[in-house]
Every structure is written in structure tokens, then in C-alpha cells.
Structure 1
Amino acid sequence: MFTLYCTTINFNLMHWLINKRRNNKSLHISEQTWLISLIFVYVLLLLISPSTS
């Protein structure tokens, strides 16, 4: 269940990123920082979560 939740977050994140890059070619610095921090939290959650879930 947790893995499905994280996969959904990842899918939505990639979808948002693709649309964002399509609209304007370069992301703002603040948006890049926010995106990097979001990915970092996502990876951290994957590491913390038990492998069984």
C-alpha cells in the first residue's frame, strides 16, 4: 500500500515536471530547489519504509 502511494506521488511528480518543462523551457531556481527537496523526501521515505509494505 505504501509502495503504491509512493509510486502515485512519483508519477504525479513526473507528470507535473513534464508539463512544466513543456510550458516554459527553464524552471525557476526556487522551483528547482523545491523539486530537489521533494525528491529527497520521497527517496528518504522509500528508505525508511519497510520492504514488506
Structure 2
Amino acid sequence: MRIGVLTSGGDCAGLNAVILAVVRRAVLGYGWDVVGIRQGTHGLMQDPPQA
């Protein structure tokens, strides 16, 4: 399975830690692939998504 991670705004406290935890759990816990989505929701809506 492949999942995407995106944020749609500026930095906030704890954001890097949350992203790291999501990636670790997905990769180490489930064996999933994780991709970052560029340009927030705009990048997600592109065809193909901006990953």
C-alpha cells in the first residue's frame, strides 16, 4: 500500500514529530510506502498528484 502525507499550511509546533511518527509506523509497522505530497492540497488535486 502507498499513502501520502501532506500539510496545507505553515509550520506548527510538533509537525515534524508527527510526520516522523506516521512514516515510522507506516513503514516499520505495516510495510507501506509513504510519499510526500508537494504544494499541499493543490498538488494532491493534480493529475497525477505532485508526489
Q: TM-score, normalised by structure 2?
A: 0.44
Q: Which has the larger share of helix?
A: 1
- The structure with more radius of gyration: 1
| Structure possessing the higher relative contact order (Cα contacts under 8 Å, 6 or more residues apart) | 1
Query: TM (normalized to structure 1)?
Result: 0.43
Q: Which has the higher strand share?
A: 2
